[in-house]
Amino acid sequence: MYDKKDMAPPGVGYLDLKLMQGCPPPQDKLIDLRNWDSPPYNRWSFQHMSELFPVAPIRRGKAPVSELPQATRSLDRVRFERVDGQQTDLATFLTDSYTDGFIVLHQGKVVSEQYFNGMQPHTLHLLQSVSKTLVASLVGILIGQGKIDPDARVSDYVSDLSGCDYGDARLQDVLDMRTGIQFCEDYTNPDAEFIQLDIASGWRERGTRTSPDTIYGLLKSLKKGREHGGHFEYRSVETDVLGWVCEQVCNERLPVLLSREIWAKLGAEQDANITLDRVGTALADGGISASLRDLARFAQMHLQGGMFNGQQIVPEAFIKASRQGSGEHFRVLYGAFAEHYPKAAYSNQCWVHDSDKGIYSARGVFGQFIYVDPQSDVSIVKFSTWPDFLNPEWSLNSNRAFEAIAKALAD
65-96 tens-digit pLDDT: 999 999 999 999 999 999 999 999 999 999 99
The 3-state DSSP class for residue 198 equals helix
Residue 404: partners with Cβ closer than 8 Å, 6 or more residues away: 78, 79, 80, 90
pLDDT of residue 336: 64
pLDDT of residue 1: 44
Nearest CA-CA partner of 291 in 9, 43, 49: 49
- Find the catalytic residue in 97, 112, 129, 379: 129
pLDDT of residue 7: 80
Tell me the C-alpha distance between 263 and 273, whole Å.
11
pLDDT of residue 4: 54
Is 129 one of the catalytic residues? yes
Torsion of CA 142, 143, 147, 152, to 10 degrees: 130
Split the chain (411 residues) into runs of 10 and give each run's mean pLDDT: 68 96 95 96 98 98 97 97 97 98 98 98 98 98 98 98 97 97 91 94 90 96 96 96 98 98 98 98 98 98 98 98 85 68 93 96 98 98 96 94 97 83
Residue 394: partners with Cβ closer than 8 Å, 6 or more residues away: 97, 367, 386, 388
Residues facing 105 on adjacent strands: 110, 379
Is 327 in contact with 355 (CB distance < 8 Å)? yes
Question: 141-175: buried (b, 16+ CB within 10 Å) or exposed (e) per residue?
Answer: bbbbeeebebeebbbbbbeebeebbbbbbbbbbbb
pLDDT of residue 210: 85
Is 242 in contact with 154 (CB distance < 8 Å)? no
- Which pairing describes strands 350-354 and 99-106: parallel, antiparallel, or unpaired? unpaired
pTM, 2 dp: 0.97
Q: What are phi and psi of 145, to 5 degrees?
A: -85, 0
Q: How many Å from the N-terminal Cα to the C-terminal Cα in the chain?
A: 39
The 3-state DSSP class for residue 43 equals helix
Encoded amino acid at 309, one letter: N
pLDDT of residue 212: 94
pLDDT of residue 3: 53
Is 247 in contact with 161 (CB distance < 8 Å)? no
Angle between helices 292-303 and 131-144 (to 10 degrees): 50
Encoded amino acid at 289, one letter: S
Is 46 in contact with 385 (CB distance < 8 Å)? yes
pLDDT of residue 207: 83
Tell me the C-alpha distance between 59 and 266, whole Å.
11
Q: What are phi and psi of 255, to 5 degrees?
A: -60, -35
- Which pairing describes strands 87-89 and 368-373: parallel, antiparallel, or unpaired? unpaired
The 3-state DSSP class for residue 329 equals helix
Q: What are phi and psi of 268, to 5 degrees?
A: -60, 150
Tell me the C-alpha distance between 133 and 129, whole Å.
8
Encoded amino acid at 268, one letter: A
Is 314 in contact with 301 (CB distance < 8 Å)? yes
Angle between helices 237-250 and 131-144 (to 10 degrees): 40
